[in-house]
Amino acid sequence: MANGLLPLPEIPPEQRTPLVEALLAIICAQQDRIAQLEETVQQLRDEIAILKGQKPRPKIAPSQLEQPAPPPPPAAGQKRPGSDKKPKNAQLTITREQRIDFPDPPAGSVSKGYEEYIVQELVIRAEVTRYLRERILTPDGQSLLAPLPAEVLPGQHFGPDLICYILHQYHHNHVTQPLLQDELAQHSIVISAGQINNILTEDKQIFHEEKAELLTAGLATATYIQVDDTGARHDGKNGYCTHIGNEFFAYFASTDSKSRLNFLQVLRGAHTDYVINETAVAYWEKYGLAAALIASLSAGPAHFCDAAAWNERLHALDITAARLVRITTEGALRCTTTPPSRTSATM
């Protein structure tokens, strides 16, 4: 039992139903959170003790007596543990093989085969391809140009591997654009700062679509989610970064506010509509909206395609007070979100 937490019982595979797996995941996440909070509490106690002129909690090294005894030496004829590991070369994929003959062997020598010697190398070089595209003139007067191979990206004069390398260096290795341009120049790649910036920022719709699909797929498969947001800078201004996820997926969204309304807007993903139904009415009643106001909202249209249409409806009903706008909007947004049955939020 570590950190005062009870160990999880062993559950046979035949009893690991989806519900049991989900409960175990929730328990593990809660135990990790409890351990983090205990450590934070102890750190705060130590800081308070130091401020009071007292000594913090001493760090006691584990007793040498509690360490397990070393394993006995292997008996005669036995191999030591771990000696049956696979050779490292078995994990390699041979990309090129070169046969080396013995130079100027003495007369009468007989070949006894070849012995292998593995050398790994990383090949980074510039490769410039000039495509000569045939142009033809058809009998009906059309001028046609031979299409480029499938591996050439439309409208791009840089190959997919080079583009992937630029994206990886910038986003994963945090290489700045000037340093990235210098690095490519050392490999004889002729590319301007503007072209590097375009590769990093332009035509990234496929990544935005993948990000939107990530939230939808994560919410559809998650048994629970955790929510948190923290301060962040966006376009030189103070804002917030909202996180939604669990141990299987993570979704991040940059926003200008930190509120329940903002969370509902992020949680619904690509949805832009606002809906009035029994869920919205129950939410309004829970937060004490007047029955007459709820009746007015329910008497008109029940579906609004976007924020402009929703705000126009609120304006028509003379709902302008900040609290009323917030509560009515939160209720209409709850109908367009599909969160899992359990949500752990730190807002």
Domain's final residue, options 228, 247, 269:
269
Q: Do both 275 and 329 map to the same domain?
A: yes
Q: Tokens 């141990």 map to which residue?
A: 247
Establish if 102 belongs to a structural domain. Answer: no
**Interatomic CA distance for residues 279 and 104, integer angstroms:** 90
The residue segments making up the domain with residue 299 are 271-338
What pLDDT is recorded for position 66? 59
Domain's final residue, options 149, 171, 203:
203
**Interatomic CA distance for residues 337 and 316, integer angstroms:** 25
Residues sharing a CB contact under 8 Å with residue 15, sequence separation 6 or more, in sequence order? none
Q: Secondary structure of the chain in the HEC alphabet?
A: CCCCCCCCCCCCHHHCCHHHHHHHHHHHHHHHHHHHHHHHHHHHHHHHHHHCCCCCCCCCCCCHHHCCCCCCCCCCCCCCCCCCCCCHHHHCCCCCCCCCCCCCCCCCCCCCCCCCCCCCCCCCCCCCCCCCCCEEECCCCCEEECCCCCCCCCCCCCCHHHHHHHHHHHHCCCCCHHHHHHHHHHCCCCCCHHHHHHHHHCCCHHHHHHHHHHHHHHHHHCCEEEEEEEEEEECCEEEEEEEEECCCCEEEEEECCCCHHHHHHHHCCCCCCEECCHHHHHHHHHCCCCHHHHHHHHHCCCEECCHHHHHHHHHHCCCCCHHHHHHHHHHHHHCCCCCCCEEEEEC
What pLDDT is recorded for position 16? 79
What pLDDT is recorded for position 162? 92
Establish if 334 belongs to a structural domain. Answer: yes
Q: Do both 316 and 329 map to the same domain?
A: yes
Domain's final residue, options 238, 269, 300:
269
Q: Do both 233 and 291 map to the same domain?
A: no
How open is the CA angle 121-124-129, to the nearest 5 degrees? Answer: 135
Q: Do both 288 and 238 map to the same domain?
A: no
What pLDDT is recorded for position 339? 52
Name the pairing type of β-strands 342-346 and 224-234: parallel
Establish if 177 belongs to a structural domain. Answer: yes
Give the total number of structural domains in the chain. Answer: 3
What pLDDT is recorded for position 122? 76
Q: Do both 190 and 220 map to the same domain?
A: no
Of the candidates 36, 34, 28, the residue with the CA atom closest to the CA atom of residue 7 = 28
Establish if 183 belongs to a structural domain. Answer: yes
pTM higher than 0.85: no
Establish if 235 belongs to a structural domain. Answer: yes
Task: Give the pLDDT of the chain (347 residues) as one tens digit per residue.
Answer: 445 667 777 888 777 788 888 888 888 888 888 888 888 888 888 888 888 888 777 777 666 665 666 667 766 666 666 556 666 777 788 888 888 998 988 988 998 888 888 888 778 888 899 999 999 999 999 999 999 998 888 888 899 899 999 999 998 899 999 999 999 999 889 999 999 999 998 887 877 788 878 888 888 888 888 888 888 887 778 888 888 888 889 888 888 888 888 888 888 877 788 888 888 889 899 988 899 988 988 888 888 888 899 999 899 888 889 899 889 888 888 866 655 544 454 44
Establish if 31 belongs to a structural domain. Answer: no
Of the candidates 263, 274, 268, 338, the residue with the CA atom closest to the CA atom of residue 310 = 274
